[in-house]
Amino acid sequence: MEEYEDLINLVYDENENKINIPHNIRDNLVSYKKNVFFNNENKYKNVKIEFYTTKHIGCNIINAYTGEKTNYKVGSKYEDLFFVVSNPINNHKIMKTNETKLYYDTPETYERNHYVVLNNEIKKKWYDKYKKFIEKEK
């Protein structure tokens, strides 16, 4: 994954902070508790996970981690700029619909937001697709 470090730096700001979210986008906020094992402390902790959903084709894409509304539309070619996850939670009390997609800047942002580790092959495949899209758009 070292060859993708420059791309990671290009699409992800390490100092990224949550921004003030307009009320209409707060409606897309999903929040739940998850029991996560922390190796460095050798124990489980109950952590709060929050993310913003994007609903359907034609809507503006909302960054799942920051809640920032982008100018890109669901269903457009610009979806390739994002690491897209389809309904990562199979719980209808938390997620109101199965049709929800989450749009992240990178696979690493998704991992950090959900306390998961993705297979490196998944990440490589996304970075290859992202790089190809960027080169095509130049």
Q: Where are the domains of the chain?
A: 2-137
Report the pLDDT value the prediction gives residue 86, as an integer from 0 to 100: 81
Report the pLDDT value the prediction gives residue 28, as an integer from 0 to 100: 67
Are 72 and 78 a contacting pair, CB within 8 Å?
A: yes
Question: pTM score, two decimals?
Answer: 0.73
**Does the CA dihedral 71-75-78-84 come out positive or negative?**
positive
Under the banding of pLDDT at 50, 70 and 90, the label for residue 129 is very high
Q: Mean pLDDT across the chain, nearest whole number?
A: 77
